[in-house]
Amino acid sequence: MITLAGIIGSGKSSLTELLAQELGSRAFFEPVSDNPVLPLFYKGNELAAKKRQAGQKDATNPYAYLLQTFFLNRRFKMMKEARASHNAILDRSIYEDAMFMKMNTDMGNATAIEYEIYQELLANMLAELEQVSQEEASDLTVFIKVSYKTMIKRIEKRGREYEQISSDPSLVDYYQRLLKYYAKWEQDFKGSPLLIIDGDKYDFVENQSDRNYVLNLIETKLVELGQLSESEFARLKTARA
């Protein structure tokens, strides 16, 4: 099982799809298109930021806790299904979610009580996952690391209105904060072997040469971990040549 990690717009879904096609794996995608809470969350962030600027220091986003529990529930289901399939790629896992809830609590978008309840729920889910499987969270986690400039460029390109800084200037602070939280997440991550991809340097979506390089990098790591044979790696490289 491979898990993708990375900030909004880093290219997780695109690389998940590429890897699934390359390795013949089942892809599990982050619930975005069928997520009724996500647009509400972004609007709630905007309103909470305006209230705090106006002096209401305890203003929260009423959808922060709802959004994070929505994601937690969906990802818990995905993790169980992925483990059962024995050959899966996830474009984000349950192990990355707590960072978002922590940041929203630190910003004041969620309350300390909501964070405490969320942590208890997460702990219960992780305990059940550990009972189902004694293996690591995943065989490999691939972290696509991008700068603020690259992130904004890709967010603009995919065109989701509620994600645009032109529509909501408060997102500038939100995105820049998120990059700092991801830097700490990268430093602290212990869930599985971690492979870092430079998403600023390698455009694996538009550039075929970059795509081949990134796929070879991931597959080389899988060979090192004993999850892919040398002969299968050679076959995959030849098929892309």
Find out whether 85 is annotated in a ligand binding site.
no
Nearest to 163 by CA among 36, 75, 41: 41
Find out whether 117 is annotated in a ligand binding site.
no
Find out whether 30 is annotated in a ligand binding site.
yes
**Contact at 8 Å (CB) between 69 and 118?**
yes
Instruction: Kindly indicate the confidence band of residue 133, based on its pLDDT and cuts at 50, 70 and 90.
Output: low
Options 34, 58, 91, 139, the catalytic residue: 91
Cα–Cα distance, 85 to 87 (Å, whole number): 5
Per-domain boundaries in the chain? 2-240
Find out whether 156 is annotated in a ligand binding site.
yes
pLDDT digits (tens, 9 = 90+) for 15-38: 999 999 999 999 998 777 678 898
Q: Which of helix, strand or coil describes residue 47?
A: helix
CATH class name, domain 2-240: alpha beta
The residue written with tokens 């599990």 in the block is: 28
pLDDT digits (tens, 9 = 90+) for 141-170: 999 999 999 999 999 998 888 889 998 888
The model's pTM is: 0.88
Q: Which H or E element spans position 38?
A: helix 38-53
Task: Measure Cα distances from 215 to 28, 172, 204 in Å.
Answer: 18, 32, 9
Mean pLDDT of 76-80: 87
Residue 91 is a catalytic residue: yes
